[in-house]
Amino acid sequence: MENSYKTVRPSAYLEGVKPALRKLGAALEKEYDYYSILAADNHSRTYSVSAGGVSASADQLQTGRGIVVRVRDAKGFAEYSFNDFSEKDIDGVLRVIREKVTGMRNGLNLPGGELERGKLTETELRFSKSTEYLIHPEELGDRGIIDRITELRLKGLSMAEGLLDCAVRVSYQEVHKIFLSKKRDLEQNYLWTVGGATALARRGQEIKDAYGSVSGLGGAEILDGLEEKLQSFADTAVMLLKSEPMVPGTYDCVCTPDVTGMIAHEAFGHGVEMDMFVKDRALAKEYIGKQVASELVTMHDGGSAAAQTGSYFFDDEGVEAHDTVIIEKGILKRGICDTLSALALGSVPTGNGRRQDFAAKAYTRMTNTFFEGGNDSLEDMIASIDYGFMLENPTSGMEDPKNWGIQCMVSHAREIKNGKFTGRVLSPVVLTGYVPDLLKSISMMSPNVELSGSGMCGKGYKEFVKVSDGGPYIKARIRLG
């Protein structure tokens, strides 16, 4: 494996179309108070091997090429998206935008009245930035990636008796975007890769599984970390065959960093997306400046807050990526915000305006969401528990921003008695509660912070974007069922 880093190269398509987009921008500037142009050229592939077969395909959700234009006049905003453009199309695009603006004035498009509280201003900003990688997946090709993950699958299957399968999956996305407005000329090129494995164990008719992943900005070199984790996946799947049902109750718990991340994402991720403030659908709006968590808790979100799958240099509204402190020593400081919501609320955008693709609306969305670390060792956390559990391997979560309820599924819990593991394993486990109660109960946090970004986050079961979350080990009082 080469040890020299390479930089993600710009999109040839975007470089080719950019002069025509500049001319379109000059024409828009003559007619509207504000204009912006976002052009994207993204491609993604996914690979998997399992007992069921081998697959390699383009990820349609994360692959696409297109352009979206946003304009504003005294009445409000209008948008128009299209996926084919050259200089000869400028007049046609202008004509459609004029029609959309007319519809807006007739109340048929994006309303502007609720946006008049704020003022849309832009400072001068120009840059072109790219991330780095060691091995681009395209250098390996489909055959090379399939061979690599087949090797990982066979190695995983050999690590424990009783394994039914070890399914391995890898995906990557290369993103290219440019953003143009009167005062901004931005370009970003980045690559992320995710690898995951699921070990399945069987005893009689019972089947249990254990999943884990590695992720981050970079290329196929990330798969080396997946290989290092295969043994733990295999051991966990076999261990779960002797698991018992959880007895509902409230217990002292230690959460692994991935469970901590799910709590951060569900508890104060969606709940502080400020487009929900505009619609009065988030209780967090009423708690800015108030204590909502233990004094040990400081929480971040932002495209520049970490180097993970939720990272970027600017959002889909041309706002530079931020590192936003949402909770500081237990006090809710602010939410995260897209541009239009910031205008409606008299606030400022935090670089969280994200589109599922160029043809979708920009919403306030999470990026890299995590808790800072503390000063307590994991050993001290476990030793401090008279009776409780270690919660491991989150599987899914739901939140209710309006009432601050949370419900998360965790693969399993390991019993702790008198500061030591007993060997008992309980599965599955449902974590529930009122968000401030859960976060105020946090009494210990480890120094190490880990983030992972294997999944995607939807907004109302749609509008999916790539995110990551994480944090340290934490000790908290949690209701389990």
The whole-number pLDDT of residue 119 equals 65
Q: Is 193 in contact with 215 (CB distance < 8 Å)?
A: yes
* Among 367, 390, 365, CA closest to 446: 390
Distance, in Å, from the CA atom of 365 to the CA atom of 224, rounded to the nearest integer, reads 30
Q: Residue 115: its pLDDT value, please? A: 44
Which among 12, 18, 16, 55 is positioned nearest to 38, based on CA atoms? 18
d(CA 237, CA 208): 6
Is the pLDDT at 213 greater than 80? The verdict is: yes
The residues with which 400 forms a beta bridge, in sequence order, are 405
- CA 402 to CA 395: how far, in whole Å? 23
| Residue 2 predicted with pLDDT over 80 | no
Task: List beta partners, residue 470.
Answer: 370, 451
d(CA 282, CA 286): 8
Structure tokens at 361: 């609306």
pLDDT band at 101 (very low <50, low <70, confident <90, very high): confident
Asked if residue 428 has a cis previous peptide bond (ω within 30° of 0), the answer is yes
Q: Which helix (H) or strand (E) holds 238?
A: helix 223-239
The pLDDT value recorded for residue 103 is: 63
- Structural domains of the chain in order of their starting residue, each with its CATH number: 6-44+53-129 (no CATH), 131-176+189-241 (3.30.2290.10), 249-480 (no CATH)
CB 399 within 8 A of CB 476: no
Place of tokens 């001068």: 124
Q: Is the pLDDT reported for residue 460 higher than 80?
A: no
Range of lowest pLDDT (107-116, 235-244, 344-353, 470-479):
107-116
Residue 307 is classified by DSSP as: S
Number of other CB atoms surrounding residue 333 within 10 Å? 15
Structure-block tokens of residue 152:
């990982």
The mean pLDDT of 467-479, rounded to a whole number, is 98
What's the distance, CA 429 to chain centroid?
23
Residues 70 and 181: their CA atoms lie apart, in Å, by: 10
CB burial of 231-269 (b: ≥16 within 10 Å; e: otherwise) equals eebbebbbbbbebeebeeeebbbbbbbbbbbbbbbbbbb
Q: How high is the pLDDT of residue 269?
A: 85
Q: How far apart are CA 369 and CA 452, in angstroms?
A: 10
d(CA 221, CA 46): 16
Is 6 within 8 Å of 284 (Cβ atoms)? Answer: no
- Give the Cα separation of 462 and 470 in Å (integer): 23
How far apart CA 212 and CA 395 sit, in angstroms, is: 10
Q: Report d(CA 194, CA 121) in Å as an integer.
A: 37
Written as one letter, the residue type at 111 is P
The fraction of the chain above a pLDDT of 70, given in percent, is: 96
- Distance between CA atoms of residues 164 and 146, nearest Å: 20
Q: What are the angstrom distances between the C-alpha of 328 and each of 117, 290, 465, 478?
A: 28, 10, 26, 22
Average pLDDT over every residue of 258-274: 93
Where is average pLDDT lowest: 46-55, 115-124, 315-324? 115-124
Are 450 and 470 contacting, i.e. CB atoms less than 8 angstroms apart? yes
